[in-house]
Amino acid sequence: MSQLLAGKKGVIFGALDERSLAWHVALRCMEEGAQIVLTNTEVAIQLGTVRDLASAHGLPLIVCDATNLEDIRDLFARAQELLGGQVDFVLHAVAQSTNLRRHKSYEEANYTYFQQTIDISALSLHKILHTAMEMDAIAEGGSVVALSYIASERYFYGYNDMGDAKAMLESIARQMGALYGRKKRVRVNIVSPSPIPTKAGGGWKEIDFFYRYSNHLSPLGNADADDCAGVCVVLFSDLMKRVTMQTIYCDGGFGRTILTPELVDDYRRIEEVKDKNED
Ligand SMILES: NC(=O)c1ccc[n+]([C@@H]2O[C@H](COP(=O)([O-])OP(=O)(O)OC[C@H]3O[C@@H](n4cnc5c(N)ncnc54)[C@H](O)[C@@H]3O)[C@@H](O)[C@H]2O)c1
């Protein structure tokens, strides 16, 4: 390994189980020489397997609800104590939509759930960055990455209120990136991956169809969790020291593709069947 993150210290939000994108990012950060602290909610720690990751690698695991300012303050204080100084990088891999999980249609969303989706999946990034600034917890030139999805900018049937949360998350990354960049040269970027089977990524009814569709449409095929982790590691590294306020797509080219010859053929076949049925 190239030890891209040698000497760097990081906080990783969002590892629930071995499928979690944050789990893969944590492993890649360690391979590249970083020292890390894991964090998640009390419930996630009880229900998931992140304790196994922590104990296998001797990592501190700190309880923090990313919507709670007091928890975030406590997390940064403890992380700095345990790591022996300011943090160099933070991964925000936090999302949840009860509307999506309960299969509510977008136009009939429950507003209490909607507010929770925004609070957990978007405002939490603001709270984390606000607290880090206030405590001066991120070192000069540090790097923060949050994970988003292309449904932040394009209509995506079934992605529900998470589309609004991701649009807001990306906007917060730009606004805070501008402010934190001037203040401390801290970068804030978004990584937007392909759909990947995880707990948060699997709440949608048509998901199995969509994995296949996305894989087909992407010139390079779907990216996996390890591909996504690689992009995060490079963004945490000094190689990207002047890249900030960006959304970087790790999606095999999906977001830049509209049509393929195979889709034209498939659609023609559907039309032919329809015509036959009408005759
Ligand atoms: N899997 C995909 O297809 C995909 C695609 C694009 C983007 N993403 C994004 O990647 C990120 C990670 O998701 P994942 O797919 O690894 O699923 P995941 O379910 O493994 O991770 C989501 C994490 O958010 C945590 N979380 C929920 N509420 C929280 C709170 N209040 N405070 C702190 N943590 C909280 C959960 O405990 C969990 O660890 C999310 O932002 C997700 O939207 C995922």
Asked if 94 and 120 touch (Cβ cutoff 8 Å), the reply is yes
CA of 275 to the centre of ligand 1 (A): 44
Asked if 17 and 42 touch (Cβ cutoff 8 Å), the reply is no
CA 50 to ligand 1: nearest atom: 39
Asked if 55 and 45 touch (Cβ cutoff 8 Å), the reply is no
d(CA 26, CA 12): 7
CA 199 to ligand 1: nearest atom: 19
CA 149 to ligand 1: nearest atom: 6
Measured CA to CA in angstroms, residue 249 lies from 147, 163, 189, 219, 225 at distances of 10, 16, 11, 13, 13
Q: Whose CA is nearest to atom 42 of ligand 1?
A: 95
* 220: CB partners within 8 A, 6+ apart: 252, 253
CATH class of the domain defined by 9-278 = alpha beta
d(CA 51, CA 40): 10
Asked if 130 and 78 touch (Cβ cutoff 8 Å), the reply is no
d(CA 77, CA 60): 13
Phi and psi angles of residue 35, each rounded to the nearest 5 degrees, phi first: -105, 130
CA of 260 to the centre of ligand 1 (A): 31
Ligand 1, pocket-test mutation among 11, 12, 16, most atoms within 8 A of CB: 16
CA of 272 to the centre of ligand 1 (A): 42
Local confidence pLDDT in tens for the 279 residues of the chain: 689 999 999 999 999 999 999 999 999 999 999 999 999 999 999 999 999 999 999 999 999 999 999 999 999 999 999 999 999 999 999 999 999 999 999 999 999 999 999 999 999 999 999 999 999 999 999 999 999 999 999 999 989 999 999 999 999 999 999 999 999 999 999 999 999 999 887 767 778 889 999 999 999 999 999 999 999 999 999 999 999 999 999 999 999 999 999 999 999 999 999 988 888
CA of 270 to the centre of ligand 1 (A): 36
164-172, long-range: CB within 8 Å, 24+ apart, which pairs? 164/114, 164/117, 164/118, 165/95, 165/97, 165/117, 165/118, 165/120, 165/121, 165/122, 166/121, 166/122, 168/118, 168/122, 168/123, 169/121, 169/122, 169/125, 170/247, 172/122, 172/123, 172/125, 172/126, 172/129
Whole-prediction pTM = 0.97
